[in-house]
A and B are shown apart, each in its own frame.
Chain A
Amino acid sequence: MIVTSNVTKNYGASCVVDGVSLKLPQGGITSIIGPNGAGKSTLLSMVSRLMAMDKGTVTVGGLDVTTAPSDELARRMSILRQDNHMTARLTVRDLVSFGRYPYSKGRLTVADKAHIDRAIDYLDLGDLSGRFLDELSGGQRQRAFVAMVLAQDTDYVLLDEPLNNLDMRHAMGMMKLMRQAANELGKTIVLVLHDINFASWYSDHIVAMKHGKVAAQGSASEMIRPDVLSGIYEMDIKVHEIGGQLISVYYG
């Protein structure tokens, strides 16, 4: 379980995340949605200790992220932010191998190699594994980053906009993979998503943020409703049930 209590972050005078207290359930997929500037990414960065918080505490699986040893946390929780700007020229396989660093500290064992191969297979990167990251398209690179996080094999996986740069086929593939990881391996997955229909289709739990606070949270059926969504996004959003799934329509 991930527990945040009264987590706060200020940038100068503006409060980006304002006293957020959340309990994210163990196992399954939780999606964080909300308009731009709602504080979703900032919250995720603080939960994953990439950013220090001004106030509050976060525990992940019982470990306090500000005090627990960083390498122990790295075996418990992985984080991938959006817009990863990589200057280092690494091959896909090198990058994915570094996902095993928290365990191997650079000396890869047979078990590590199995994890690496599996992650590369899962993300359909077999043919690209010897290519350098700067020779790949944005979507291929994004898949390589996710493969690295999978190779890290942590109970908690935090991904900020993992569908960035992905076409429809790979976006769907990514979400199915998340579903599979949650169902079969019992992972707890937290995603920041912009596409509320992907959130609706694949999430067990949805948290909506607005102005740095939690505006609403609940299951997809509780959250994907015209009144809830229209309030969060301040626009007219219609919801239709298609084939048993709740689909939002907001295109004009």
Chain B
Amino acid sequence: MRTLILALAATLALAVVSVFVGVSDVSIPSLLAGGIDSRAMEVLLISRVPRTLALVLAGASMAIAGLVMQMVVRNRFVEPSTTGTTESAALGFLVVTLLAPGWPLMAKMGVSALFALGGTALFLRVLRAVPLRDVLLVPLVGIMLGGIIGALTAFIAYRANLMASMLAWNMGDFSGVLRGRYELLWIGLVCCVAAYIAADRFTVAGMGKDFTTNLGLNYQRVMMLGLVIVSLVSAVVLVSVGSIPFLGLIVPNLVSLMIGDNMRRTVPWVAVGGAGMVLACDIAGRLIRFPYEIPIAVVMGVVGSAMFLYLLLRTPRGAS
């Protein structure tokens, strides 16, 4: 509990730093000097605070989505981007953008979430047909499935002259976040709360179908709840800021190494860790080439793949 509070404090500190990093001068003196109508205050309220909130919400909810996915699929190496979920969400968003461009963003996000759900269900279906359920085969199957769905999306986008938008969805970036353009991410917070409320059910599901049935829970229903949470988060993050790779993989795995898999205990850690990691990567991306920005997907990709390799190499003990 003590260490969790420390982690929370560190994440809050990162959030404060995140608010004050940027090209235009926003600092405590400039805010105090300018008063309520100043340019600094305007930048703070319209750009900086929304961006920091978006980072926290997206980071926490993507990490939770990875955690839930790992529990219900019972594999350490799955998360929305290794199961075809993110790619399906992108396909859904593209389809609805083409067919119903006038719909509000909320409705488009809904369609995207439905596609994500369908894609994840397809992934689970394919898994059942694969005879050998090796620990590493599962994410490989997901990555291949995601590749196929991604290719289909690219084909449609190419034909419709939407390659630029598609690229933006696939490359998570918080530089475009402004007030009024990130609020969907609050749905991610709702999903995190739902995951916490259902934490025991997910832990039981993580013990396997037989254990779940023995304890009187409906395995299919728990699975479905988990997949709905994962799909919603994936779609919300994708349409708001674009996909963030590896996050849902690394944070839950590190937390699992530290304190195990009882979700009642891990959910707060994973949420705080996810937010902290995204904040740190975003700050790094903003400072490395200051005043230019490196998209978070790039920073996360570099940091994430190194950590992923570390996790893979230590697999023989305990992961299977």
Tell me whether B318 and A70 are in contact (CB under 8 A).
Answer: no
Chain B residues with CB under 8 Å of A85's CB are: 208
State whether the Cβ of B260 lies closer than 8 Å to any Cβ in chain A.
yes
Chain A residues with CB under 8 Å of B215's CB are: 74, 98-99, 101-102, 152
State whether the Cβ of B203 lies closer than 8 Å to any Cβ in chain A.
yes
Tell me whether A71 and B208 are in contact (CB under 8 A).
Answer: no
Tell me whether B260 and A87 are in contact (CB under 8 A).
Answer: no
13 inter-chain pairs at a CB distance below 8 angstroms, sorted by A residue, are: A50-B209, A70-B213, A70-B216, A79-B210, A79-B214, A84-B208, A86-B208, A87-B320, A89-B318, A90-B203, A98-B207, A102-B215, A149-B214
State whether the Cβ of B262 lies closer than 8 Å to any Cβ in chain A.
yes
* Further 9 A-B residue pairs, CB within 8 A, beyond A50-B210, A88-B261, A99-B215: A74-B214, A78-B214, A88-B203, A90-B207, A90-B260, A90-B261, A98-B211, A101-B216, A135-B318
Cα A79 to Cα B209 with chains together (Å): 12
State whether the Cβ of B80 lies closer than 8 Å to any Cβ in chain A.
no
Cα A232 to Cα B249 with chains together (Å): 52
Query: Looking at B209, B256, B261, which has the most chain A CB atoms within 10 Å of its CB?
Result: B261
Chain B residues with CB under 8 Å of A225's CB are: none
State whether the Cβ of A169 lies closer than 8 Å to any Cβ in chain B.
no
Smallest CB–CB gap between B192 and chain A, Å?
18
> What class of interface size applies to chain B in its complex with A?
20 to 34
Cα A69 to Cα B216 with chains together (Å): 8
Chain B residues with CB under 8 Å of A105's CB are: 200
- The answer, among B75, B199, B218, for a CB contact under 8 Å with A87, is B75
Cβ contacts A86-106/B at 8 Å (1 or 0 each): 111111001100110110011
Tell me whether A88 and B71 are in contact (CB under 8 A).
Answer: yes
Tell me whether A48 and B214 are in contact (CB under 8 A).
Answer: yes
Tell me whether B217 and A71 are in contact (CB under 8 A).
Answer: yes
A147-162 contacts to B, CB under 8 A, are 149, 152
Cα A149 to Cα B210 with chains together (Å): 13
State whether the Cβ of A132 lies closer than 8 Å to any Cβ in chain B.
yes
Cα A88 to Cα B216 with chains together (Å): 19
Tell me whether B217 and A87 are in contact (CB under 8 A).
Answer: no
Interface of A is mostly: mixed
Q: Contact residues of B with A, CB < 8 Å? A: 71, 74-76, 199-201, 203-204, 206-211, 213-218, 256, 260-262, 264, 317-320
Chain A residues with CB under 8 Å of B200's CB are: 98, 101, 105-106
Cα A101 to Cα B215 with chains together (Å): 6
Smallest CB–CB gap between A153 and chain B, Å?
13
What is the interface size of chain A, counting residues whose CB is below 8 A from a CB of the partner? 35
Chain B residues with CB under 8 Å of A87's CB are: 74-76, 206, 319-320
Tell me whether A73 and B216 are in contact (CB under 8 A).
Answer: yes
Chain A residues with CB under 8 Å of B264's CB are: 106
- The answer, among A70, A102, A132, A149, for a CB contact under 8 Å with B260, is A132
Nearest to B320 among chain A residues (CB) is A87
> When A91-B260, A101-B200 are in contact, do A86 and B207 touch as well, CB less than 8 Å?
yes
State whether the Cβ of A81 lies closer than 8 Å to any Cβ in chain B.
yes
Tell me whether A81 and B260 are in contact (CB under 8 A).
Answer: no
A24-54 contacts to B, CB under 8 A, are 48-50
Smallest CB–CB gap between B10 and chain A, Å?
24
Tell me whether B204 and A90 are in contact (CB under 8 A).
Answer: no
Smallest CB–CB gap between B115 and chain A, Å?
28
A72-131 contacts to B, CB under 8 A, are 72-75, 78-81, 84-91, 94-95, 98-99, 101-102, 105-106
Cα A69 to Cα B319 with chains together (Å): 34
Tell me whether B203 and A98 are in contact (CB under 8 A).
Answer: yes
State whether the Cβ of A227 lies closer than 8 Å to any Cβ in chain B.
no
Chain B residues with CB under 8 Å of A195's CB are: none
Cα A88 to Cα B264 with chains together (Å): 13
Chain A residues with CB under 8 Å of B201's CB are: 106
Nearest to A154 among chain B residues (CB) is B214
Tell me whether B210 and A88 are in contact (CB under 8 A).
Answer: no
Smallest CB–CB gap between A81 and chain B, Å?
5
